[in-house]
Amino acid sequence: MEEREEISNLAGVQHIILVLSGKGGVGKSTVSTELALALHHAGKKVGILDVDLCGPSIPRMLNAQAKDVHQCDSGWVPVFLDQEKSISLMSIGFLLEKPDDAVVWRGPKKNALIKQFVNDVAWGELDFLIVDTPPGTSDEHISTVDALRTYKPIGAILVTTPQAVSVGDVRRELTFCKKTGLRVIGIIENMSGFVCPHCSECTNIFSKGGGEELAKHAGVPFLGCVPLDPQLTQSLEQGKDFMQEFPQSAAFPAIS
Ligand code: ADP
């Protein structure tokens, strides 16, 4: 009998980075987006996989809501965000009939879709696949890690705001990484200070340094602080042209 070798859709992906946070609203999707754009602007081929099934925000942030995914022989073709097809995105947002449709699914259905996302998206050749996850450490995280790690080792970036509550939640993420054997690439402290656009003075609205302190304590790299940038919030809310708008934000150089 002729044996047919299955070629994984992740065979051409060099590195997988999972972006995690303990809480919602700390800027995990923002950091995933900025990270993907920073890598893209550095000449890398990047894919973004949005596994935040109940709150997919990346299509809106990247002004790609109106786009559709379609099928090819090897699975789903992701949405390409530029003409050169060097940055691509897959999200449940593209599968919903209306962008505001709620995903009210139990664990097994979510897990099945995550497996499909991992196995059936035809990414092609990528230098980096950035995976944006829901907050916390839920079924979705375990399914994502289990499905991805059969193909490639995974690195994790943890996002926190400077406050103690958020930092405490990241401690749980660190435990999750340890238990699941994920390599922690480092911690990013987001919303870390506000630089006044008029006088350039930096005000630490939420205190500062919690992320760095935690990184030191846990013995993992601290990757840096991303300031609060009202222009970035506006761009993300309005889904402006990401190629033009993001690199101008104060967060972009910090992540680059
Ligand atoms: P999460 O994915 O953790 O739920 P988001 O990335 O969706 O968080 O961010 C929550 C909100 O905060 C969004 O409206 C986003 O525009 C805003 N935001 C996040 N980081 C920054 C930042 N550094 N500067 C300004 N606004 C930010």
Q: Does the pLDDT value for residue 247 go beyond 70? A: no
Under 8 Å between Cβ of 111 and 143: yes
Q: Is residue 1 part of a domain?
A: no
Q: Does the pLDDT value for residue 85 go beyond 60? A: yes
Report which protein residue has its CA nearest ligand 1's atom 19: 27
Tell me: is residue 31 an annotated ligand-binding position. no
> What pLDDT shows up at residue 126?
97
Under 8 Å between Cβ of 197 and 48: no
Determine how many CB atoms are found less than 10 A away from the CB of residue 147: 18
Q: List helix spans (H) across the chain.
A: 28-41, 58-61, 107-120, 139-149, 164-180, 210-218, 230-238, 242-245, 251-255
Q: Is residue 6 part of a domain?
A: no
What is the amino acid identity at position 8?
S
The tens digit of pLDDT for each residue in 189-231 reads 998 888 777 776 778 776 677 888 889 989 999 998 888 887 7
Tally of domains in the chain: 1
Task: Check residues 157 and 107 and name the one with the higher pLDDT.
Answer: 157
Under 8 Å between Cβ of 18 and 159: no
As a whole-number percent, the residues of the chain with pLDDT over 70 amount to 85
Residues with CB under 6 A from ligand 1: 21, 24-30, 57, 190-191, 226, 228-229, 232-233, 236, 251
Q: Is residue 100 part of a domain?
A: yes
Closest ligand 1 atom to residue 26 Cα is 3
Q: Does the pLDDT value for residue 120 go beyond 70? A: yes
Q: Is residue 130 part of a domain?
A: yes
Report which protein residue has its CA nearest ligand 1's atom 26: 233
Average pLDDT, the chain: 84
Q: Is residue 206 part of a domain?
A: yes
Domain, as residue range, for 175: 15-255
Tell me: is residue 152 an annotated ligand-binding position. no
Under 8 Å between Cβ of 91 and 56: yes
Q: Is residue 44 part of a domain?
A: yes
> What pLDDT shows up at residue 152?
84
The tens digit of pLDDT for each residue in 138-162 reads 888 999 999 998 888 899 999 998 8
Helix and strand totals (H; E) in the chain: 9, 11
Distance CA 210, CA 164 (A): 6
Q: Is residue 157 part of a domain?
A: yes
> What pLDDT shows up at residue 77?
95
Closest ligand 1 atom to residue 31 Cα is 6
What element of type H or E holds 14? Answer: strand 13-21
What are 77's strand-pairing partners? 70
Q: ipTM of the predicted structure?
A: 0.98
Distance CA 150, CA 99 (A): 32
Q: Is residue 225 part of a domain?
A: yes
**At 245, which CATH number?**
3.40.50.300
> What pLDDT shows up at residue 195?
72
